[in-house]
Chains A and B, each alone.
Chain A
Amino acid sequence: MRRLRSVIPALIPLLVVTAAAELAVRYGFVKSYLVPAPSSVLRAMIESRAELFGALLTTSVSALVGFLLSTVAGIAIAVFLSSSRAIQRAFYPYAVFFQTVPIIAIAPLLVIWFGYGTRTVVASAFVVSIFPVIANTLSGILSTEPALRDLFRLYGASTLVTLFKLRFPAALPQILTGLRVASGLAVIGAIVGEFIGGQGLGSVVDVARTQQRVDKVFAAVLLASVLGLALFGLINLVSYITLRRWHASEQ
């Protein structure tokens, strides 16, 4: 109940802005081919529900697969990078470089490599969301307290045991921070991939744009945001379950 009440303040601006937009369009202050009235966005959503929700499902699957891939690969790469100072010096700059490559510029390249369809979209979601996972996991693993490392050494723990019983759990709060950022980026990456590789909400936005259906564009964008929020919420849930007993951020 308290949680419910804490949502109310955030709903007020939403209602005010929605009402204002509706009135502004109705009374002709804003042209409806630039900004659609909220009511017509809702109508578009209901009219094209089969198409929109099918697209939402497609985008969700691609974003989720891309996100899971970058979770697994990102953590693995971070573990590899953490194994020695020399390896870090040799490879980490390339990970940073990789992150600065604009996804929109390499998306056509992905189409050439993976063809039109899901594989390109997944690759796009993967490419944009992996870096925060690497960076956060690495910094989490490297900031394990020296005294605890001493403790593990004193009782003869191997590198692998130290990794799983000390470094990973200690890095978990930071890994989850990385995943939170990555989840949002994966949705963005999937939509960008769909602009070029076809399918999903990205493709709906692209097609509706050429048909001058601003209301449908808005409806698709709204669903994409909902998808991002849902993923974000999922990570928060995982974070709450795993950290609530011991980490200040969830207490």
Chain B
Amino acid sequence: MDLEIAAGEFIAILGPSGCGKSTLLRMIARLAEPTAGRITIQPEEQFQTSFVFQDAHLLPWRTVLDNAALPLELMGVAREERYATARTALQQVSLYEAEDRYPAQLSGGMRMRVSLARALVAHPRLLLLDEPFAALDEITRFRLDTQLRDLWRTRGITVVFVTHSISEAAFLANRAVVLTKRGGGIKLDRSLDLPLERNDDLRMDPRLGHEMKLLLSAMEEE
């Protein structure tokens, strides 16, 4: 597999389950080592990467605010500053009023939003998401899709989004990559021909349907 991701891109990686999407993501995050080949990041300077998992994976013994502030705490940021940053991030995912609650008191969608806020507080330049909204109901997912897209536009970060949902990939990304079933190969690498501004109107747009059709046929052919 040969894949180049430019800074500032919003790329979706699609593929059937078991094809190695998650492994690829963990390798990009340097959480796993490739058994063969290599991953280079240019320029080689250190920068922050954030990861959003399939489930929210919050610390249940911490409040929403302390969960969102966790990355900064681990990075050694002073209390005042990290709470201020965490509050801003919670506001961005419209969860400001829930900061004193515990994860057990939140709905699945709210937990995922805390997880998203937690990924944002560290001001990552690279945001990796591993099927983050797969377990949510469609309406919540639509809302989070739009929020994520807005965050990408305002913050100018690089986003790699792994999913098995064709509609989600087409709606969110600027570029979609379909992996082969056995992994290790790329079936399709396409820049999506869709407007920069994405909102719910686009979900019914024939242009989105056209892109979805292309992705679907790439996933189906073997």
Number of interface residues of A (CB under 8 A): 22
Q: When the two chains form their complex, are residues A246 and B50 in contact, meaning their CB atoms are under 8 A apart?
A: no
With A148-B59, A152-B74 known as contacts, the answer to whether A246 contacts B51 (CB < 8 A) is no
| B45-68 interface code vs A (CB 8 A; 1 in, 0 out) | 000011101010101110000000
Nearest Cβ in chain B — how far from A89, in angstroms? Answer: 24
**What count of chain B residues pass the 8 Å CB interface test?**
21
Report the Cα distance A231→B103, complex, angstroms.
31
CB contacts under 8 Å to A, within B157-209, are none
Q: A161-B74, A169-B61, A246-B61 are in contact. Are A154 and B50 (CB under 8 A)?
A: yes
The answer on a CB contact under 8 Å between A145 and B57 is yes
Counting chain A CB atoms within 10 Å of each CB, the highest count among B31, B55, B74, B75 belongs to: B74
Picked from A151, A156, A165, A172, the residue with its CB within 8 Å of the CB of B51 is A151
Q: Are B57 and A154 neighbours in the complex by a CB distance under 8 Å?
A: no
If the complex has contacts A150-B51, A154-B29, A155-B122, are A251 and B104 also in contact, measured as CB distance less than 8 A? yes
Question: Which of chain A's residues 148-164 have a Cβ closer than 8 Å to chain B?
Answer: 148, 150-157, 161
The answer to whether A151 and B57 have CB atoms under 8 Å apart is: yes
Chain B residues, Cβ within 8 Å of A161: 74
Q: Does A166 contact B (CB under 8 A)?
A: yes
Closest Cβ of chain A to B106, distance in Å, is: 11
Q: Is B141 an interface residue (CB 8 A)?
A: no
B57 touches A155 (CB 8 A): no
**B102 at interface, CB cutoff 8 A:** yes
Give the CA-CA distance A152 to B31 in the complex, in Å: 11
B53 contacts A147, C-beta separation under 8 Å? yes
Pull 6 A–B residue pairs with CB atoms less than 8 Å apart, ordered by A.
A148-B57, A150-B31, A152-B74, A170-B59, A172-B61, A245-B61
Closest 4 CB pairs of A and B: A246-B60, A155-B74, A157-B74, A155-B71
Interface residues of A (CB under 8 A from B): 145, 147-148, 150-157, 161, 165-166, 169-170, 172, 245-248, 251
